Structure 1
């Protein structure tokens, strides 16, 4: 992980930073589209990964409903075993 990413300030209250890592830009965009159906968000930013692949970043507004799926997300419970991957902080 890039040390500079650890120094990234937290997003403002009610917002979340989403990072998607995929083998192709198309796969990353498809996942971002699903996220944007649930939450209002900013324009995505994508970066190539060393050795291939794409990392896509977007900021979502968790307080603004972007579609009907939002109500399900608001009432669902977190799955067990969720949490950061070993390489995430």
Structure 2
């Protein structure tokens, strides 16, 4: 793990896609862009062939299915312990 790597700002996530072809990497990035606002993708060659694609997505600006999934996956705040919890 690279400990000198900077974390993305709050509400954002760095996504790295590694694929055998640039077309496959772009297809995955396109799906992500349908769910999240994002930065321009950056593409790099992989030493053994293939492509590594990097992009930053804004998880605070999720759209469609990603928005409902993110909302449902976050624990409720301020609810305290449930009666059946020890």
Tell me if both proteins adopt one fold, taking TM over 0.5 as the criterion. yes
Does the 8 A contact of 1:21 with 1:56 survive in 2? yes
When Rg is computed on C-alpha atoms for both structures, the one with the higher figure is 2
Which consecutive residues of structure 1, in runs of 5 or more, have no partner in the other structure? Answer: 78-89
Structure 1 position 76, deviation (Å): 5.1
CA deviation string 1:33-62 (max 9, x = no partner): 011111100000010001101000000000
Structure 1 position 68, deviation (Å): 1.4
Q: Which residue of 2 aligns with 1:64?
A: 61
Structure with the larger strand share: 1
Q: Which residue of 2 aligns with 1:84?
A: none
Question: Over aligned residues, Cα RMSD in angstroms?
Answer: 1.8
The TM-score normalised by the length of structure 1 is 0.73
